[in-house]
Amino acid sequence: MAKLIVILGDQLSPALSALREADKDDIFLLAEVKQEASYVKHHKHKIILLFSAMRHFAEVLRQQDNKVIYLDYEQGFSSLSSAVEHCLQQHPKLTGIMITECGEYRLKQELDSWHETFKVPVDILEDDRFLCNATMFAKWADGRKQLRMEYFYREMRRYTGLLLDSKKQPLGGQWNFDKANRKTPPADLKAVAPMQFKPDEITSEVIKLVAEHFADNPGTADNFCYAVTGKQARQAFNHFVSEQLGKFGDYQDAMLMDQPFLFHSICSIYLNCGLLDVRWMCQKVEAAYKQEKVAINAAEGFIRQLIGWREYIRGIYWLLMPDYKTRNFLNAERPLPGYYWHGNTKMRCMQQAISHTMTHAYSHHIQRLMITGNFALLAGLDVTEVTDWYLAVYADAYEWVELPNTLGMALYADDGVLASKPYAASGAYINRMSNYCQHCHYKVKDSTGDDACPFNVLYWDFLARNEQKLGSNARMQLAYKNWHNKAPAQQQALRDKAEDYLIKLDKL
């Protein structure tokens, strides 16, 4: 009774439940297929990363004497279902399928149909690489008026025991050191880059394949330097802990010209496809704190992202899909300007965030939330176009993580499920957290003149445009008070300027 064990491109973990449960006669399937490679126009680096990491993972499985079927892209399989069908036909001794649950609702529907399609038993196992499963999350969410991350996070700290003292109280005397993560960066702050890896033979093959078959996708296939094995990813993470983490604690939200990574680990790229293990990462960071190598704001700030934010986001996704994807509270429907795909804009902050994205399939969370996300929110860009953009261009993006972060957190399209108020900010915030404005065509101190900063102009217009929906939000009262304190003539000038900018949005 041999089974087909299907391993997806973001399931490249030795501890995957489907691998743990496999028997000796079972056959593993990894497949590079058209549908997964093109449900959005993925950045070339994202495809290179996954195809190369899948090929390396298959190698390791083979070396451990497992039977592995690897279907590469040039074999032309259209979908995972067609790959599975092929294997079942070629190997009649296969009498069942086993797979660990996937990370996207779209694909879940396909997996759920396999039992009917193939007329064999299909075991879909829990993905216990995550710390909180759907049942635990639903229990936590049940009966709560608001699903705030902070309370979920405290439960996760208690559940994991991370950064707790012997009385189960938070080390450092408080749960959250968020305020100590937002220092303004000095202009001469020197970044410490994440570890880079030279492509080996397998990766070089994949780079050629992607350059040929995905020529029109965003990004270039040339400068790929990410880890593609678990061993490399662990090296990269150890480098982060010893060389970057201390400064990451202080400057999590900082942005500087031409410094795409600053002190960020970029390990979401590896964690989200399975090359790193969340428990191992958290233990490394906790140990660095206990050995006094990093301060509490660094250790807590990092662990919060993993066991707090990341698990919370996943919980929200599975709790609220598929309805969540249809939400558009602010009726945002303006087309995405072309510079989201190339970064040719006079707005320096947008140019930086987008060009980093196009070069590396990466930009850090504040660039995503407070630059490209904030701009999309203020300008009322189409929610589906924006969420598809994030899903396509980031190497760490799968819908479970991308959708709530974009639709909920950045665009407030879920009417406050995730965030208690929209993350709308004017140029002043960007000026405080970066040195971009000094290098910009627009004037960050201006809101109505010829070269007024578009973030200022659109910020006020956003408030005015959405007052009916946001005016009663308790956390927006100060913003609306400031708006109403403006003289009618000034309000009109701001709105006229916004109209002008919105008409020529593509040319800003």
Angle, CA of 98, 99 and 102, to the nearest 5°: 160
- Based on the shown chain and the rule CB under 6 A, indicate whether residue 277 belongs to the binding site for ligand DLZ: no
Q: Which are the contacts of 223, defined by CB distance < 8 A and separation ≥ 6?
A: 359, 360
Can you tell me the distance from the alpha carbon of 211 to that of 221, in angstroms, rounded to the nearest whole number? 6
- Based on the shown chain and the rule CB under 6 A, indicate whether residue 315 belongs to the binding site for ligand DLZ: no
Please report how many Cα atoms fall inside a 13 Å half-sphere around the Cα of residue 503, on the Cβ side.
6
Q: Smallest distance from the beta carbon of 358 to ligand SF4, in angstroms?
A: 18
- Based on the shown chain and the rule CB under 6 A, indicate whether residue 255 belongs to the binding site for ligand SF4: no
Q: From 7-15, 132-140, 368-376, 451-459, give the range in contact with ligand DLZ by CB under 6 A.
A: 7-15
Among 5, 12, 16, 47, binds ligand DLZ (CB under 6 A): 47
Can you tell me the distance from the alpha carbon of 36 to that of 220, in angstroms, rounded to the nearest whole number? 19
Give the x-and-dash track for 328-347 against ligand SF4 (CB under 6 A): -------------------x
Asked whether the beta carbons of 383 and 411 are under 8 A apart, the reply is yes
- Based on the shown chain and the rule CB under 6 A, indicate whether residue 32 belongs to the binding site for ligand DLZ: yes
The residue assigned the tokens 């678990």 is 230
Comparison of 139 and 441: residue with beta carbon closer to ligand SF4: 441
Among 140, 302, 442, 462, binds ligand SF4 (CB under 6 A): 442
- Tell me the sheet residues that pair with 94: 2
Neighbours of 450 (CB within 10 A): 8
Helices and strands, counts by H and E, the chain: 24, 5
Can you tell me the distance from the alpha carbon of 384 to that of 290, in angstroms, rounded to the nearest whole number? 44
- Based on the shown chain and the rule CB under 6 A, indicate whether residue 348 belongs to the binding site for ligand SF4: yes
Q: Smallest distance from the beta carbon of 104 to ligand DLZ, in angstroms?
A: 4
Amino acid sitting at position 114: W
Asked whether the beta carbons of 30 and 70 are under 8 A apart, the reply is yes
Q: Smallest distance from the beta carbon of 352 to ligand SF4, in angstroms?
A: 8
Q: What are phi and psi of 334, to 5 degrees?
A: -75, 140
Can you tell me the distance from the alpha carbon of 222 to that of 434, in angstroms, rounded to the nearest whole number? 29
Q: Smallest distance from the beta carbon of 242 to ligand SF4, in angstroms?
A: 33
- Based on the shown chain and the rule CB under 6 A, indicate whether residue 103 belongs to the binding site for ligand DLZ: yes
Can you tell me the distance from the alpha carbon of 293 to that of 279, in angstroms, rounded to the nearest whole number? 19
- Based on the shown chain and the rule CB under 6 A, indicate whether residue 33 belongs to the binding site for ligand DLZ: yes
Q: From 98-106, 237-245, 333-341, 405-413, give the range in contact with ligand DLZ by CB under 6 A.
A: 98-106
CA proximity to 134, closest of 400, 409, 391, 323? 400
Cis peptide before 454 (omega within 30 of 0): no
Can you tell me the distance from the alpha carbon of 415 to that of 76, in angstroms, rounded to the nearest whole number? 42
Q: Which does 440 bind (CB under 5 to 8 A by kind): ligand DLZ, ligand SF4, none?
A: ligand SF4
Q: Which are the contacts of 133, defined by CB distance < 8 A and separation ≥ 6?
A: 126
Q: Smallest distance from the beta carbon of 106 to ligand DLZ, in angstroms?
A: 8
Q: Smallest distance from the beta carbon of 6 to ligand DLZ, in angstroms?
A: 8
Q: Which does 311 bind (CB under 5 to 8 A by kind): ligand DLZ, ligand SF4, none?
A: none
Among 437, 463, 476, 505, binds ligand SF4 (CB under 6 A): 437
Can you tell me the distance from the alpha carbon of 198 to that of 273, in angstroms, rounded to the nearest whole number? 19
Q: Smallest distance from the beta carbon of 38 to ligand DLZ, in angstroms?
A: 8
Comparison of 315 and 454: residue with beta carbon closer to ligand SF4: 454
- Based on the shown chain and the rule CB under 6 A, indicate whether residue 8 belongs to the binding site for ligand DLZ: yes
Comparison of 218 and 454: residue with beta carbon closer to ligand SF4: 454
Here the tokens at position 355 are 């060009």
Q: Which residues in the 400-419 window bind ligand DLZ by CB under 6 A?
A: none
Comparison of 50 and 298: residue with beta carbon closer to ligand DLZ: 50
Q: Which does 210 bind (CB under 5 to 8 A by kind): ligand SF4, ligand DLZ, none?
A: none
Amino acid sitting at position 310: R
Among 107, 122, 156, 493, binds ligand DLZ (CB under 6 A): 107
Can you tell me the distance from the alpha carbon of 251 to that of 14, in angstroms, rounded to the nearest whole number? 33
Give the x-and-dash track for 455-494 against ligand SF4 (CB under 6 A): x---------------------------------------
Give the x-and-dash track for 416-435 against ligand SF4 (CB under 6 A): -----------x--xx----
Strands across the sheet containing 27-31 = 67-71, 27-31, 2-6, 94-100, 122-125
Name the site residues for ligand SF4 (rule: CB under 6 A): 347-349, 427, 430-431, 436-437, 440, 442, 444, 453-455
